[in-house]
A and B are shown apart, each in its own frame.
Chain A
Amino acid sequence: EEKLVESGGGFVQPGRSLRLSCAASGFRLGDHAMHWVRQLPGKGLEWVSGISWNGEMRGFSDFTKGRFTISRDNAKNSLYLQVRSLRAEDTALYYCAKGSGYKGSWYSGTVFDIWGPGTMVTVSS
């Protein structure tokens, strides 16, 4: 069974940094583009960032404004999201998701076919 599990969320003070992790099992993460999607409290889904299967290309939503970094370690079957200078408005449930295409890019248009249950990030003093 293909699964994703996020970790690294928690309570963080404004201005601090946080690194979220996403561990894959049941498939080779290195064969797929990967994404981070978030859900603000009481709001809908919002794409954060995507990375191609080999890590060579990355894309970000405008709101990330250079504070977010996406990376991957295919040898460890893991995806990461580094967030710097955290703000209250970054409070959200963060999901990782797998792009369905084989060795695809984050902009290939293929559906996000596997999602993790999410990890909650709360930014508050």
Chain B
Amino acid sequence: SYILTQPASVSVAPGQTARMTCASATFVRKSVHWYQHKAGQAPVVVINDDTVRPSGIPERFSGSISGNMATLTISGVEAGDEADYYCQVWDNGSQHWVFGGGTRLTVL
């Protein structure tokens, strides 16, 4: 089965840059989506299709892919960015949507 691997946690100080990775065997012919999930709230898409930032999402959020690693970068981290972040892809092989295990971002 297709697996997306994310680090369990990332911690940064306010104003610093947070980088959260999502590793896979391959991202060829796959689009990676990223969601921000705060406790008690609905998940929100922060990046879709690898690098696209939806309207309303601050420019501080960006996405990239290099080889078998997708990365969500948050520049100038703020306290309000503290949340769980999930990567997601559609896996045509298994005909399933797959989420990574999620990374908890802690703002120190």
Contact = CB atoms under 8 A, between A and B. Distances in A.
Given A110-B48, A113-B45, 16 more contacts: A4-B42, A44-B101, A45-B37, A45-B43, A46-B99, A61-B96, A107-B92, A107-B95, A108-B90, A111-B33, A111-B45, A111-B49, A112-B88, A116-B42, A117-B40, A117-B42
A59 to B, nearest CB: 6
Which of A44, A47, A62, A113 counts the most chain B CB atoms within 10 A? A44
Contact of B96 (A47, A97, A115): A47
Contacts of A111: 31, 33, 45, 48-49, 88
Nearest to A114: B42
A44 B43 contact: no
Contact of B48 (A46, A100, A108, A117): A100
Q: Chain A: interface residue count, which band?
A: 20 to 34
A109 interface: yes
Nearest to A49: B97
Given A112-B33, A115-B43, A44 B49 contact: no
